[in-house]
C-alpha cells in the first residue's frame, strides 16, 4: 500500500490527533473497507552540518527536500512500522535509513544528525499536549557532533533550564513563562562560560518549541556551533 502524505505548514501545525486518513483497499472481492485510520505526524529536520541538500524518504517515497537547519512541519503518515531514511538530493541511494513504529495520533521529529560520513536518523516522539494555562513548553536537544555535555540557560537566570545533555540526548518538554525576547545560552555542562547565544527569541503562550545545539565547534563558517529553534506547535 502506497503511503500518501500531506504537508502541514509551519504556521498552522495542524494537530494530527484530530485528523484521520481514510485508507480504501479491496481484497479478492468487490467489498471495500473505508474505516478511518488515525494518522501519525512526522516532521523532518536537517541537522547535519556540512551535508548538502537532502531528500527525506518514508517507505521509499520522497517526502521533500531540505537544507541545513530546515524543517517544514509535520506530515501525515499511516501508523505502523515504517522505513525512515535520507538521501542526497535527487539520489536514489540512502545515506542512512532505519525502521520505526509510528503510533496513530502521535507526533515525531526525525532529525538527520552527525556529519556526512556518519549520518544517522534520530527519531524523537513529540509531546504536543497543550501547555499549562498561560505557559509555553520548551525542550532542548544536543545535535552538535563532537560536543561535550551541554546546559541550556536563559540569560539572567542563575539556574539552567536543562543540564548535561550529551550528543543526541534530549530533554522532555518543560513549562516556561512566555516572553517577547528571551536570550537562550548554551554552556558546557556545569560551566558559567557561554559557548553560543540565541537572542530575541519570542516564546508565545500556548505554543511548544524545540531548541537545539547545532554545528561544529571546530568551524567558523555556516556550520559553526550555535543554537536553533523550531516551533512544534
pLDDT tens for 179-193 read: 999 999 999 999 999
Q: How far apart are CA 121 and CA 86, in angstroms?
A: 8
Q: The C-alpha cell of 202 is what?
A: 519570542
> Could you tell me if 161 and 140 are in contact, meaning their C-beta atoms sit under 8 angstroms apart?
yes
Q: Is the pLDDT of residue 215 over 50?
A: yes
Q: How confident is the model at residue 32 (pLDDT cuts 50, 70, 90)?
A: low
Q: Is the pLDDT of residue 137 over 50?
A: yes
Asked whether residue 34 carries a pLDDT value surpassing 80, the answer given is: no
Please tell me whether the overall predicted TM-score, pTM, comes out greater than 0.75 for this model: yes
Using CA atoms, how far apart are residues 170 and 162, in angstroms rounded to an integer? 9
Cα gap 194→183, rounded to integer Å: 12
Among candidates 16, 28, 18, which has minimal Cα distance to 77?
A: 16
Maximum Cα interatomic distance, the chain, rounded to a whole number of Å: 69
* Structural domains present in the chain: 1-126 (2.60.40.1120), 130-233 (2.60.40.1120)
| 4 phi, psi to nearest 5 deg | -105, 130
Mean pLDDT for the stretch of residues 194-206: 97
The residue with cell 535520507 is 86
The answer to whether residues 184 and 153 touch, using CB atoms and an 8 Å cutoff, is yes
Amino acid at each position: 500500500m502506497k503511503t500518501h502524505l500531506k504537508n502541514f505548514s509551519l504556521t498552522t501545525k495542524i494537530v494530527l490527533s484530530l485528523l484521520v486518513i481514510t485508507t480504501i483497499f479491496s481484497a479478492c472481492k468487490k467489498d471495500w473497507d473505508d474505516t478511518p485510520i488515525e494518522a501519525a505526524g512526522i516532521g523532518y529536520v536537517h541537522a547535519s552540518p556540512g551535508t548538502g541538500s537532502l531528500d527525506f524518504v518514508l517507505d521509499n517515497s520522497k517526502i521533500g527536500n531540505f537544507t541545513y537547519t530546515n524543517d517544514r512541519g509535520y506530515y501525515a503518515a499511516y501508523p505502523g512500522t515504517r522505513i525512515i531514511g535520507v538521501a542526497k538530493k535527487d539520489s536514489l541511494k540512502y545515506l542512512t535509513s532505519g525502521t520505526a513504529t509510528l503510533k496513530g495520533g502521535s507526533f515525531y521529529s526525525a532529525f538527520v544528525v552527525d556529519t556526512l560520513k556518519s549520518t544517522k536518523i534520530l527519531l524523537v516522539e513529540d509531546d504536543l499536549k497543550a501547555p499549562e494555562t498561560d505557559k509555553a513548553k520548551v525542550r532542548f536537544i544536543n545535535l552538535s557532533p563532537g560536543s561535550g555535555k551541554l546546559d541550556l540557560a536563559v540569560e539572567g537566570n542563575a539556574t539552567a533550564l536543562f543540564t548535561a545533555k550529551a550528543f543526541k540526548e534530549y530533554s522532555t518538554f518543560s513549562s516556561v513563562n512566555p516572553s517577547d525576547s528571551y536570550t537562550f545560552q548554551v554552556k558546557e555542562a556545569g560551566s558559567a562560560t557561554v559557548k553560543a547565544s540565541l537572542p530575541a527569541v519570542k516564546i508565545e503562550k500556548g505554543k511548544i518549541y524545540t531548541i537545539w545545539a547545532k554545528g561544529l565547534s571546530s568551524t567558523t563558517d555556516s556550520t559553526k556551533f550555535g543554537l536553533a529553534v523550531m516551533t512544534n506547535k
